[in-house]
Structure 1
Amino acid sequence: MLKIGTIVRILFIFIISFTYVNANEINDKAALNGIKEAKSVFLIDFTNVKKTAFYLNIIEGTHKGFVSQGVKPDMVLVFIGETVKYLSTKPDEAFEMENEEDLISIQKSIKTLASLGVRMEVCAVATKVFNVDNSTIPKEMNVIADGFISLIGWQTQGYKLVPIF
């Protein structure tokens, strides 16, 4: 029997797929008028593992949406706060048992996003505060000194901020 989380993900993927299959009817043509490349930096700050898994799937869809509409996505994800706990390849055993499906989804999204060329940064201030060993952060991600400094740097370079929390 399928769990509720699995059913929600399947429904979400179906909706996203349907939207992009019908891109000729529903699109972002007005907003993307004349744009060949979209530079974005996502501030990701969640206190919920399910929300983290859900939004990483959404971001994958956003990347695909840009590509399907002829725009090259140049995306950076900056993870701060408690969210760093959900990125570790070695989470607390009790937490892992309780949230296995979402943690697997997060690891899968990390691999997919990396394969798409999305840069992912993890704030070392947050890993220290939330006792996450930097060696347990997936190799596809970059541990950086300070997420706030990174966000300022990317924005100064012309990346548009997408805050999600």
Structure 2
Amino acid sequence: MRNLFRYILLVLSLVLATGQGHAGSRINDSAALADLKVGQAVFLIDIADAKKMNFYLEVIQGTFKGMRDQGVTPDFVMVYIGPSVQYLSTSPSADVEARYGAVLMEMESNVEKLAALGVRQEVCAVATDAFGIDNKTLLPELDLVGDGFISLIGYQAQGYHLVPVF
């Protein structure tokens, strides 16, 4: 039942992002995007559940494409902190692998797709240390940073807008 609910949410998100929701009318974000040329966002990813995290990786791709389709150049950065880092290794723990094996493969694919879109993805070294992740095993599309909070502060100081994803 939970998977059906998540599927329905994903379909609705994609429908809204592509503007196919109402016959004869185009759903868009024109009021929010008025005169905007570049949309700078820094996504704080702090999710303990692998399935939920994978869902949001797909939604962020839709957000990127939706913004682009509305004439705004997306400039996105994702910063993974906390328990989310345990799903970003080529050698996850035995427990993580046993619980989320198939989801981990989907997540790896979504990380690759985000990178192909030009989304910068950073992983907090404080979190990898706290969760016992060997930094050498991080997915190759990811950039290791010293402290995710510092990264978030820096991007916001550069004009990026914080999008917390929990």
What TM-score results when the alignment is normalised by the length of structure 1?
A: 0.90
Q: For residue 152 of structure 1, what is the aligned residue in structure 2?
A: 153
Q: For residues 133 and 8 of structure 1, what CA distance do their matches in structure 2 show?
A: 34
Q: 1:93 Cα deviation (Å)?
A: 2.5
Q: For residues 145 and 5 of structure 2, what CA distance do their matches in structure 1 show?
A: 33
Query: Unpaired segments of 5 or more residues in structure 2?
Result: none
Q: For residue 63 of structure 1, what is the aligned residue in structure 2?
A: 64
Q: 1:99 Cα deviation (Å)?
A: 0.9
Q: Write out per-residue CA displacement over residues 15-61 of structure 1, whole angstroms, 9 at most, x where no aligned residue.
A: 34433052851110110000010001011111111111111111111
Any residues of structure 2 matched to 1:1-165 within 5 Å, and which? Answer: 5=3, 11-19=8-16, 20-22=18-20, 25-165=26-166
Q: Write out per-residue CA displacement over residues 126-145 of structure 1, whole angstroms, 9 at most, x where no aligned residue.
A: 00010000011111110000
Q: For residues 165 and 2 of structure 2, what CA distance do their matches in structure 1 show?
A: 24
What TM-score results when the alignment is normalised by the length of structure 2?
A: 0.89
Q: For residues 51 and 11 of structure 1, what CA distance do their matches in structure 2 show?
A: 14
Q: For residues 21 and 164 of structure 1, what CA distance do their matches in structure 2 show?
A: 23
**Alignment RMSD (CA, Å):** 1.8
Q: For residues 152 and 71 of structure 1, what CA distance do their matches in structure 2 show?
A: 24
Q: For residues 35 and 64 of structure 2, what CA distance do their matches in structure 1 show?
A: 18
SS at match of 1:39: strand
Letter in 2 for 1:125: V
Q: Write out per-residue CA displacement over residues 45-95 of structure 1, whole angstroms, 9 at most, x where no aligned residue.
A: 111111111111111110011111111000000011111001111112232
State, as a whole percentage, how many aligned pairs show the same letter: 46
Count how many residue pairs are aligned between Structure 1 and Structure 2.
162
Taking a change above 3 Å as real, the CA distance of residues 131 and 54 of structure 1, as seen in their structure-2 partners, is same
Query: Unpaired segments of 5 or more residues in structure 1?
Result: none
